[in-house]
């Protein structure tokens, strides 16, 4: 194994520690084996394992809640209920009485539930994987195998995984995880977004990462995108010193976002709910540029009530009395499946299927309830509430959404520009709504026809692709305020280029704000414009990056 593995650095900073890998799947216990004959004892063993799993999940849930992650606790408590389900225990007993060993009996009893869930149609895949997780934990206990999922550790560690799902990370303690490394995932994967939100350094798309043996000490540089095995003390010290120097350079730049010559560019935070507000405030966000409301709807069999929605929205709105909060209505489908809004049928290409606004047009009642809750949440507050729709393609859809907003009392509707058609015909959409927010994650995915969930396509998911920049330009020039809320806004050099293209605000995970603020403050608007023009003239993403940097001399002082 080479000393240094390379991938895409997606969350800045340096972390060093021993590797702990997310254990892989638990093998299926073989069919046809028989237990020793004592069915009562075998059943007792199986029940004890299930109870231990339930207790462990509840305990993790309590820890998640203590760390402020109540949604994580709800997911884990729901899993504990599955482990204690009396019907499941009955299924295990019936099999054990036929001579089936405990582990196999558990496997088969869960299988019945699995089929029921899948057949019920209204449950999302994540529900089935929650069930599989409970099953695998019980089988691992019964067979003495390592526990699947995120490992337990008393000392700080570097978490290495093929990829991380939101459920894996619900109980992560940022004080324990010093860095993330994943073999798959791109700059816009969940791992990347979660790492930035938690402020943990991360490198994704690292070939060979999961082959690093457990316990190996590694140095992860989330800015350079490197993972060095068994670094010397000196290497760790040098890397930490460079990171610290950058951190202090950042502390010097505070206040609202602006270029060196005073062109204001409001810097906003991307949040998933009230739990992210504190980080946004700490990093000086001037408001919220993307409130991803689907986090409130995840793992639910029915939508949250109007009151529950109103409360969650109000908590975020209240935090920015003098600012703005841009709320995105439910973006269900594709990479964000929701239990109560299943895809209407088998979709061969979910990313091109019924997702975002397309899904809401099928379920106007869900949209109306959300918009009403938003209007109520904002009533009496001074914050500027803006509401936008995801995955909008044309002016007909934009007009439909604007009408739905106004009917619910929302005065400032907007749309995300994520589909190339919307960018190319931005002027048509601008006639219908008051603002745009470019979702560069999806815009890049659709421009380059490269599924953002496929790690092997990371080089095509690069928002520096000149074709993507060519689509930003018409959206930014269509005559309505146009922000960027995709991960591109968090790249300090690209942030300058976006401003040069005419983008009027930038929204990102809160920990990325200081570096972007500092990068803008070190360049004039004219420099940003020259960098943008040079990037668009380049023929490849790599060249675009280099060409832009040549016009952004202030980046070097930030160690970029």
Residue ranges in contact with ligand PEP by CB under 6 A? 188, 290, 292, 331, 418, 439-442, 485-486
Question: Annotated catalytic sites, by residue?
Answer: 190, 485
Between 72 and 186, name the residue whose CB sits nearer to Mg ion: 186
Do residues 21 and 158 touch, judged by C-beta distance below 8 A?
no
Between 171 and 443, name the residue whose CB sits nearer to Mg ion: 443
What is the smallest separation between the CB atom of 337 and Mg ion, expressed in angstroms?
14
Do residues 4 and 228 touch, judged by C-beta distance below 8 A?
yes
Site membership for Mg ion, residue 276 (CB under 5 A): no
What is the smallest separation between the CB atom of 443 and ligand PEP, expressed in angstroms?
7
What is the smallest separation between the CB atom of 27 and ligand PEP, expressed in angstroms?
35
- Which among 279, 322, 323, 289 has a CA at the least distance from the CA of 507? 289
Q: For 477-540, give the DSSP string.
A: TSSS-EEE-SGGGGSHHHHHHHHHTT--EEEE-GGGHHHHHHHHHTS-HHHHHHHHHHHHH-SS
State the binding partner of 292 from Mg ion, ligand PEP, none, CB within 5 to 8 A by kind. ligand PEP
Between 333 and 413, name the residue whose CB sits nearer to Mg ion: 333
Edge-to-edge strands of the sheet including 8-11? Answer: 4-6, 226-229, 217-221, 14-21, 157-161, 177-182, 202-204, 8-11
State the binding partner of 486 from ligand PEP, Mg ion, none, CB within 5 to 8 A by kind. ligand PEP
Site membership for Mg ion, residue 442 (CB under 5 A): yes
- Which among 160, 120, 175, 225 has a CA at the least distance from the CA of 18? 160
Cβ contacts of 57 within 8 Å, gap of 6 or more:
76, 77, 79, 80, 83, 134, 137
Between 17 and 463, name the residue whose CB sits nearer to Mg ion: 463
CA distances from 340 to 79, 122, 168 (A): 18, 6, 22
CA–CA gap between residue 144 and residue 184 (Å, rounded): 28
State the binding partner of 280 from ligand PEP, Mg ion, none, CB within 5 to 8 A by kind. none
Between 290 and 398, name the residue whose CB sits nearer to ligand PEP: 290
What is the smallest separation between the CB atom of 359 and Mg ion, expressed in angstroms?
13
State the binding partner of 228 from ligand PEP, Mg ion, none, CB within 5 to 8 A by kind. none
For residue 72, what are its two tokens?
């994580």
For residue 178, what are its two tokens?
């010093």
Can you tell me whether residue 217 is helix, strand or coil? Answer: strand
State the binding partner of 290 from Mg ion, ligand PEP, none, CB within 5 to 8 A by kind. ligand PEP
What is the smallest separation between the CB atom of 482 and Mg ion, expressed in angstroms?
16
CA–CA gap between residue 270 and residue 273 (Å, rounded): 9
What is the smallest separation between the CB atom of 298 and ligand PEP, expressed in angstroms?
13
Q: How many residues belong to the chain?
A: 560
Q: How many residues bind Mg ion (CB under 5 A)?
A: 3
Convert 509-536 to b/e letters by CB count within 10 Å (16 or more is b). Answer: bbbbbbbbbbbbbbbbbebbbbbbbbbb
Site membership for Mg ion, residue 487 (CB under 5 A): no
Select the residue interacting with Mg ion from 186, 187, 266, 439 (CB under 5 A).
439
Between 5 and 360, name the residue whose CB sits nearer to Mg ion: 360
CA distances from 248 to 9, 47, 189, 514, 516 (A): 21, 55, 29, 11, 14
Between 354 and 442, name the residue whose CB sits nearer to Mg ion: 442
What is the smallest separation between the CB atom of 517 and Mg ion, expressed in angstroms?
24
State the binding partner of 366 from Mg ion, ligand PEP, none, CB within 5 to 8 A by kind. none
For residue 228, what are its two tokens?
């060095």
What is the smallest separation between the CB atom of 62 and ligand PEP, expressed in angstroms?
29
Binding-site string for Mg ion from residue 211 to residue 250, where x marks contact by CB under 5 A and - marks none: ----------------------------------------
Site membership for Mg ion, residue 451 (CB under 5 A): no
Between 339 and 443, name the residue whose CB sits nearer to ligand PEP: 443
Stretch that binds Mg ion, among 54-62, 415-423, 501-509, 543-551 (CB under 5 A): 415-423
CA–CA gap between residue 220 and residue 190 (Å, rounded): 19
State the binding partner of 5 from Mg ion, ligand PEP, none, CB within 5 to 8 A by kind. none
Do residues 330 and 312 touch, judged by C-beta distance below 8 A?
no
Residues in the site for Mg ion, rule: CB under 5 A?
418, 439, 442
């Amino acid at each position: 194994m080479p000393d240094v593995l390379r991938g895409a650095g997606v969350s800045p900073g340096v972390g060093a520690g021993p590797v702990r890998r997310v254990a892989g799947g638990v093998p299926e216990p073989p069919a046809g084996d028989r237990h020793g004959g004592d069915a009562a004892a075998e059943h007792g063993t199986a029940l004890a394992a299930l109870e231990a799993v339930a207790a462990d999940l509840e305990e993790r849930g309590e820890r998640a809640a203590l760390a402020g992650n109540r949604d994580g606790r709800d997911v884990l408590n729901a899993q504990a209920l599955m482990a204690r389900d009396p019907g499941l225990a009955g299924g295990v007993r019936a099999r054990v009485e036929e001579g089936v060993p405990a582990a196999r009996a558990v496997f088969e009893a869960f299988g019945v539930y699995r089929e029921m869930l899948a057949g019920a149609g209204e449950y999302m895949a994540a529900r089935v994987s929650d069930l599989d997780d409970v099953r695998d934990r019980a089988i691992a206990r019964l067979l003495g195998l390592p526990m699947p999922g995120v490992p337990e550790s008393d000392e700080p560690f570097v978490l290495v995984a093929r990829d991380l799902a939101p459920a894996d990370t619900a109980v992560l303690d940022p004080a324990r995880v010093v860095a993330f490394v994943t073999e798959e995932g791109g700059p816009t994967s969940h791992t990347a977004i979660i790492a930035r939100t938690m402020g943990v350094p991360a490198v994704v798309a690292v070939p060979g990462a999961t082959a690093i043996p457990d316990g190996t000490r590694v140095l992860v540089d989330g800015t350079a995108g490197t993972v060095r095995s068994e670094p010397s003390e000196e290497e760790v010290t040098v890397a930490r010193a460079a990171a610290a120097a950058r951190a202090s350079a950042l502390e010097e730049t505070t206040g609202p976002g602006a270029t060196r010559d005073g062109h204001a560019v409001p810097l906003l935070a991307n949040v998933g709910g009230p739990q992210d507000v504190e980080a946004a405030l700490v990093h000086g966000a001037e408001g919220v540029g993307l409130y991803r409301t689907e986090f409130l709807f995840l793992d639910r069999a029915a939508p949250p009530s109007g009151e529950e929605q109103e409360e969650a929205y109000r908590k975020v709105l209240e935090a920015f009395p003098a600012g703005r909060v841009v709320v995105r209505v439910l973006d269900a489908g594709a990479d964000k499946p929701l239990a109560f809004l299943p895809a209407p049928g088998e979709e061969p290409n979910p990313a091109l299927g019924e997702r975002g606004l397309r899904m809401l047009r099928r379920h106007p009642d869900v949209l109306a309830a959300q918009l009403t809750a938003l209007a109520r949440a904002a009533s009496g507050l001074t914050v500027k509430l803006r509401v936008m729709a995801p995955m909008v393609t044309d002016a007909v859809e934009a007009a439909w959404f604007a009408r739905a907003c106004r009917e619910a009392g929302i005065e400032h509707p907007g749309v995300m520009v994520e589909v190339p058609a919307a960018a190319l015909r931005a002027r048509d959409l601008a006639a219908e709504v008051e603002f745009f927010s470019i979702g560069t994650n999806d815009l890049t995915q659709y421009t380059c026809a490269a599924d953002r969930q496929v790690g092997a396509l990371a080089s095509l998911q690069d928002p520096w692709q000149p074709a993507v920049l060519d689509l930003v330009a018409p959206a930014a020039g269509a005559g309505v305020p146009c922000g960027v809320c995709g991960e591109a806004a968090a790249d300090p050099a690209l942030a300058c280029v976006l401003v040069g293209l005419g983008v009027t605000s930038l929204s990102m995970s809160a920990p990325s704000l200081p570096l972007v603020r500092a990068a803008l403050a070190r360049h004039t608007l004219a420099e940003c414009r020259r960098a943008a023009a040079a990037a668009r003239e380049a023929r490849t993403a790599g060249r675009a990056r280099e060409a832009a940097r040549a016009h952004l001399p202030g980046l070097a002082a930030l160690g970029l």
